[in-house]
């Protein structure tokens, strides 16, 4: 369904006045929108949702003022003002008075709790600015905004620009007026009112003002010490981007604000970037290396949007990937520069590329560019296709064009479209003009078609050929889809743009895992690559790629699972975190598949064999000055080995928990932050009521969100069904913020003992969950973990449920989930006996 506003009314400027009531949870508003009418009209339609409009008036110069009546269209989320006579072509002003609710749904203009008090804050992307003020709420309706907020005297107000005037009245109210914004989209506005403290640093050398930008990080009272890391990363990122894009950040301030209740991870509002506390704050005592890395990545992502997204905005949500795919790519460039020790480009392969592969292997994936109309459709495409596949095709193009042409093309694109909107075509055009290469032609099928290729290396006699076809998660999906797409694939220095190509080499294909393809080698070929792994002759990316392809080919029915299990054993001497990270993801998937089978203990024994050497090598204790990725590897190896049942590891975790938990005498021997996840998870996985009580007590007493996340996740890992049920109830209790509920439920989902409990729980609490989260960023998580089910009967149950409870916000996700279940069931049927025999021998 397409619901665009008519094109003959264009907003140019909004003067907005808002007065939030932090006690009664409502707000009063008044706005004057300067409009241009390109033809006479009796009606003006704009977006508005859950707003009570008190009056509307059309004003033209000083002579004309016409009152209009309002008609709401709830479904289209619009309000139409109907005037008694036709309004003339040209400029005029629409003046509207309204009021609304400061809701608790983390969207639109909403409230968030700190201590016993509340702040007011906003989350507008994608289509919720209309919940704060009637507006032309589409990304290409750019305008200038003059914001004025009337707030209680003890609070501060933050918006996109700097405050320019502050007046205080006798009743204790402050009026804060902000400087006009640049020309921008509605979804990037932000208003925040509450008690905050902050730290700051100038972006460029010299003092603030005179074209310099002040970077500030805001927290609720008492937390500003946790803002240092973020401030430092932000300043470095901004410098990097100003240089890389060759365009200065145009605003005098860049504020970053930690909000206690937040729907997504973070939001790039121009000049007023909002975050969850867990994606912004770092507590040196409590934050792990993984927490730090994530905070840095999120900041780099949101700040990349200040150019990609804010300065140049997608024409319509169909091109959302220009925002999200881009930011997801560029963040790696910045982080690689700032934290070279993260080895972040190699991590890319086991994060973004892996996520892209996984979702894009489904028949129910979608093209990067996808037609969307209503808000439900829009919110659903904030997925791994727009983000990770988008980032992955950009990385491929970056390597293909060369870093310099790519960067120059981006500069060209940004300068051409700044303060405006653009489409995918516009980007290709700019890159083409700079590089002289047919970018549009090469990229067409990567962004306009679903899926990605599998390249088969085929030997017939003396001839060796590469043949491409679309890759599917399972033979069922492949059969049903009959896709003949041919991609232009950069591969080992060549461009393969036909169905097949001669190939004389015998080394690894897709070196560096640069392209979005998988490779299927003949048996002997693979064996020779395997020996190269053993001899340490392949780089980490390529070792990772071999493992990934091998497992994915098994899942998809192209080769037996035992081949992958065999290959994995040649990785026992592996020491690279990223390779282990991929292997861990793959084995976890298999672990999930086999968890309810009678021979599962044998798979656990296999798991112990795979991880014992690396876990022993890493040990429990940090070495001084060790690599960042080694800290990550330690936590991973120990947890996996413990998860597969190694008693020594479990005992050590329990021991450390006893010594380190706050309940022990004096909290002696605090647990090192990098190991807390391992410890909590293993304690829960092997614990009972007593451990459940301790973890819940710690959760309730804890104020740090990263620590809360770790504790919450561990609550999903108990084996006892009674305790898991309690964890589910706890997730929706008053002790858990709405933003953290789904994380706990998802953890129970992911536990083979908890799968069915979680699903029953979701069905039982469906109305409440939908009420709380539908339309929001993480709603699809209510369903997506069901992709771990392995039985056709499970799929049927879900199908039946959604038939009775239609859920347009998750329609595609549900189709994807069902497809995964069918794929799992087929995989298990096909390879179960083989795996069992193989494991019998290990």
Segments in 573-599 forming alpha helices (H) = 577-594
CA-CA distance, 451 to 446, in Å (whole number)?
8
Q: Which of 223, 224, 236, 305 binds ligand BES (CB under 6 A)?
A: 305
Q: Decide: is 264 part of the binding site for ligand BES (CB under 6 A).
A: yes
Residue 115 zone, left/alpha/beta (φ > 0; ψ -120 to 50; rest) = left
Give whichever of 275 and 692 is closer to ligand BES, judged by the CB atom: 275
| Residue from 15, 125, 138, 302 carrying the catalytic annotation | 302
Quick one: 306 or 686, whose CB is closer to Zn ion?
306
Torsion of CA 384, 385, 389, 394, to 10 degrees: -120
383 touches Zn ion (CB under 5 A): no
Region of 46-54, 258-266, 441-449, 583-591 interacting with ligand BES (CB under 6 A): 258-266
Of 71-79, 221-229, 240-248, 301-309, which part binds ligand BES (CB under 6 A)? 301-309
Considering CB distances under 5 to 8 angstroms, the limit depending on partner class, which of Zn ion, ligand BES, none binds residue 322? Answer: none
Span near ligand BES by CB under 6 A; candidates 95-103, 299-307, 504-512, 628-636 = 299-307
Scan residues 794-813 and list those touching Zn ion (CB under 5 A). none
Closest to ligand BES by CB, 233 vs 439, is: 233
| Residue 249 or 382 with smaller CB distance to ligand BES | 382
State the Cα angle at 747 between 743 and 749, rounded to 5°: 115
**Shortest separation between residue 378's beta carbon and ligand BES, angstroms:** 9
Residue ranges of alpha helices (H) inside 482-539 are 523-534
CA distances from 589 to 430, 706, 750, 820, 828 (A): 41, 25, 10, 12, 12
Q: In angstroms, what is the minimal distance from the CB of 304 to ligand BES?
A: 9
Binder of ligand BES out of 48, 78, 126, 694 (CB under 6 A): 126
Q: Does 277 bind ligand BES (CB under 6 A)?
A: no
C-alpha distances out from residue 498 to 487, 488, 834, Å: 8, 7, 36
Give the one entry of ligand BES, Zn ion, none that residue 538 binds, where binding means its C-beta sits below a cut-off of 5 to 8 angstroms depending on kind. none
781 binds ligand BES (CB under 6 A): no
Residues 793 and 818: beta-carbon distance below 8 Å: no
Q: Least distance to ligand BES from the beta carbon of 723, Å? A: 30
DSSP state of 535: T
Burial 88-100 (b: 16+ CB within 10 A, else e): eeeebbbbbebeb
Q: Report the C-alpha gap between 274 and 632 in whole angstroms.
A: 27
**Contact window for ligand BES (CB under 6 A) among 260-268, 332-340, 369-377, 663-671:** 260-268
Which positions from 309 through 348 interact with Zn ion, judged by CB under 5 A? 324, 327
Q: Which two tokens stand for residue 349?
A: 């392969």
- Among ligand BES, Zn ion, none, the one that 715 touches (CB under a kind-dependent 5 to 8 A) is none
| Residue 111 binds ligand BES (CB under 6 A) | no
Among 137, 138, 255, 268, binds ligand BES (CB under 6 A): 268
Q: Are 744 and 715 in contact (CB under 8 A)?
A: yes
Residue closer to ligand BES, measured from CB, 303 or 728: 303
Query: If binding is defined by CB under 6 A, does position 777 make contact with ligand BES?
Result: yes
Report the nearest approach of ligand BES to the CB of residue 187 (Å).
Answer: 8
Least distance in angstroms from the C-beta of 309 to Zn ion: 7
Shortest distance in whole angstroms from residue 259 CB to ligand BES: 12
Residues in 409-448 that interact with ligand BES by CB under 6 A: none
Q: Which position's Cβ is nearest Zn ion? A: 327
- Residues in contact with ligand BES, counted by CB under 6 A, come to a total of 16
DSSP alpha helix (H) spans, 570-720:
577-594, 600-618, 628-643, 647-660, 673-685, 689-701, 705-714
Q: Least CB distance from residue 11 to Zn ion, whole Å?
A: 25
Residue 324, interface with ligand BES (CB under 6 A)?
A: yes
- Cα separation, 619 vs 637, in Å, equals 9
Q: How far is the CB of 410 from ligand BES (least distance, A)?
A: 18
To ligand BES, the closest distance from the beta carbon of 124 in angstroms equals 8
The structure tokens listed for 481 are 């889809």
CA angle centred on 262, ends 47 and 272, rounded to 5°: 70
> Which residue bears the tokens 């069904």?
721
Q: DSSP readout, 352-382?
A: IIHHHHHHHTSTT---SS----SHHHHHHTS
Instruction: Give the whole-angstrom CA distance, residue 60 versus residue 63.
Output: 7
CB of 359 to ligand BES, least distance (A): 15
Question: Which is it for strands 214-219 and 253-259: parallel, antiparallel or unpaired?
Answer: parallel
Q: Which is nearer to ligand BES, 336 or 652 (CB)?
A: 336
Tokens representing 466 are 């590469």
Residue 369's binding partner among ligand BES, Zn ion, none (Cβ under 5 to 8 angstroms by kind) is none
d(CA 369, CA 388): 13
Q: Is the peptide bond before 592 cis (omega within 30 degrees of 0)?
A: no
In the list 157, 298, 385, 554, the residue contacting ligand BES (rule: CB under 6 A) is: 298
Cβ closer to ligand BES: 268 or 831? 268
Beta strands per DSSP E along 160-264: 163-168, 173-178, 191-194, 197-202, 214-219, 253-259
Q: What is the sign of the dihedral through the CA atoms of 632, 649, 595 and 572?
A: positive
Q: Is 267 in the site for ligand BES (CB under 6 A)?
A: yes
Note whether 636 binds Zn ion by CB under 5 A: no
3 state DSSP class of 58: strand
Shortest separation between residue 296's beta carbon and Zn ion, angstroms? 15
Site string for ligand BES, 347-386 (x = CB under 6 A): -----------------------------------x----
Rounded CA-CA distance 676/145 in Å is: 46
Per the CB < 8 A criterion, the answer to whether 265 and 237 are in contact is no
Smallest Cα–Cα separation from 345: which of 336, 353, 337? 336
Rounded Cα–Cα distance for residues 437 and 398 (Å): 12
302 counts as binding ligand BES under rule CB under 6 A: yes
Nearest to 278 by CA among 258, 297, 255: 258
Catalytic: 302?
Answer: yes
Q: Which is nearer to ligand BES, 126 or 541 (CB)?
A: 126
Positions touching Zn ion (CB under 5 A) are: 324, 327
Q: Which residues are catalytic?
A: 302
Positions touching ligand BES (CB under 6 A) are: 125-126, 264-268, 297-298, 301-302, 305, 324, 327, 382, 777
């Amino acid at each position: 369904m397409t619901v665009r506003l008519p094109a003959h009314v264009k907003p140019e400027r909004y003067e907005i006045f808002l007065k939030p009531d932090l006690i009664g949870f409502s707000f009063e508003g008044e706005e004057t929108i300067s409009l241009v009418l390109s033809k006479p009209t009796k009606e003006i339609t704009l977006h508005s949702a859950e707003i009570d409009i008190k009056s509307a008036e059309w004003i033209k110069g000083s002579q004309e003022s016409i009152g209009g009546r309002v008609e709401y269209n709830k479904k289209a989320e619009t309000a139409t003002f109907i005037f008694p006579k036709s309004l003339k072509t040209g400029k005029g002003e629409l003046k509207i008075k309204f009021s609304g609710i400061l809701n608790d749904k983390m969207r639109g203009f909403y409230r968030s709790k700190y201590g016993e008090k509340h702040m007011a804050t906003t989350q507008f992307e994608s289509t919720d600015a209309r919940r704060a003020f009637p507006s032309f709420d589409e990304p290409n309706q750019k305008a200038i905004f003059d914001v004025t907020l009337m707030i209680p005297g003890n609070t501060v107000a933050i918006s996109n620009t700097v405050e320019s005037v502050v007046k205080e009245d006798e009743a204790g109210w402050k009026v804060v007026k902000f400087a006009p914004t640049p020309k921008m989209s509605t979804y990037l506005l932000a208003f925040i009112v509450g008690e905050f403290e902050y730290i700051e640093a100038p972006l460029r050398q010299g003092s603030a003002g005179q074209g310099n930008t002040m970077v500030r990080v805001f927290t609720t009272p008492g937390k500003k010490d946790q803002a240092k890391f973020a401030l430092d990363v932000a300043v470095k990122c901004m410098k990097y981007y100003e240089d890389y894009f060759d365009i200065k950040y145009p605003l005098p301030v860049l504020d970053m604000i930690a909000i206690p209740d937040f729907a997504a991870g973070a939001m790039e509002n121009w000049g007023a970037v909002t975050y969850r506390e867990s994606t912004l704050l770092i507590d040196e005592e409590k934050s792990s290396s993984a927490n730090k890395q994530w905070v840095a990545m999120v900041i780099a992502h949101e700040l990349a949007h200040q150019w990609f997204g804010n300065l140049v905005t997608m024409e319509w949500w169909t091109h959302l990937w220009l925002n999200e795919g881009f930011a997801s790519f560029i963040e790696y460039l910045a982080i690689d520069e700032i934290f070279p020790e993260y080895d972040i480009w190699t991590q890319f392969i086991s994060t973004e590329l892996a996520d892209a592969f996984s979702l894009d292997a489904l028949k129910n994936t979608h093209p990067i560019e996808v037609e969307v109309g209503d808000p439900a459709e829009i919110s659903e495409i904030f997925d791994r296709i727009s983000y990770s596949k988008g980032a992955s095709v950009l990385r491929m193009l970056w390597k293909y064009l060369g870093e310099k042409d790519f960067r120059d093309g981006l500069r060209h694109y940004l300068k051409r479209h700044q303060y405006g909107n653009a489409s995918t075509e516009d980007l290709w055009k700019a890159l083409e003009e700079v590089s002289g290469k047919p970018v549009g032609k090469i990229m067409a099928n990567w962004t306009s078609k679903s899926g990605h290729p599998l390249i088969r290396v085929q030997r017939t006699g003396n001839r060796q050929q590469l043949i491409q076809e679309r890759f599917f998660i399972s033979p069922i999906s492949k059969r049903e889809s009959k896709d003949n797409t041919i991609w232009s694939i950069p591969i080992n220095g060549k461009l393969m743009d036909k169905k097949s190509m001669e190939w004389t080499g015998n080394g690894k294909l897709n070196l560096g895992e640069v392209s979005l393809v998988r490779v299927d080698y003949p048996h002997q070929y693979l064996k020779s690559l395997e020996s190269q792994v053993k001899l340490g002759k392949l780089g980490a990316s390529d070792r990772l790629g071999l493992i990934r392809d091998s497992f994915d080919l098994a899942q998809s029915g192209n080769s037996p699972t035992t081949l992958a299990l065999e290959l994995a054993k040649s990785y026992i001497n592996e020491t690279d975190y990223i390779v282990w990270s991929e292997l861990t993801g793959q084995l976890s998937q298999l672990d999930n598949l086999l968890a309810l089978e009678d021979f599962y203990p044998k798979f656990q024994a296999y798991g112990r064999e795979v991880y014992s050497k690396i876990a022993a090598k890493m040990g429990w204790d940090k070495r001084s000055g060790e690599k960042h990725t080694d800290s990550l590897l330690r936590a991973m190896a120990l947890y996996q080995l413990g998860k597969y049942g190694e008693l020594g590891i479990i005992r050590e975790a329990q021991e450390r928990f006893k010594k380190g938990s706050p309940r022990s005498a004096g909290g002696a021997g605090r647990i090192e932050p990098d190991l807390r996840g391992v410890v909590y998870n293993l304690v829960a996985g092997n614990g009972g009521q007593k451990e459940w009580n301790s973890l819940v007590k710690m959760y309730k007493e804890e104020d740090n969100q990263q620590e809360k996340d770790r504790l919450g996740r561990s609550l999903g890992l108990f084996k006892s069904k009674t305790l898991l049920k309690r964890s589910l109830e706890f997730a929706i209790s008053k002790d858990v913020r709405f933003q953290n509920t789904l994380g706990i439920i998802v953890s129970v989902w992911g536990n083979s003992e908890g799968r069915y409990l979680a699903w029953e729980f979701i069905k039982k609490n469906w109305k409440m969950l939908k009420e709380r989260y539908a339309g929001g960023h993480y709603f699809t998580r209510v369903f997506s973990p069901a992709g771990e089910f392995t039985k056709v009967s499970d799929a049927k149950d879900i199908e039946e449920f959604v038939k009775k409870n239609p859920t347009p916000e998750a329609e595609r996700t549900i189709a994807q989930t069902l497809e995964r279940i069918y794929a799992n069931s087929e995989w298990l049927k096909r390879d179960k006996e083989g795996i069992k025999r193989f494991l019998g021998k290990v």
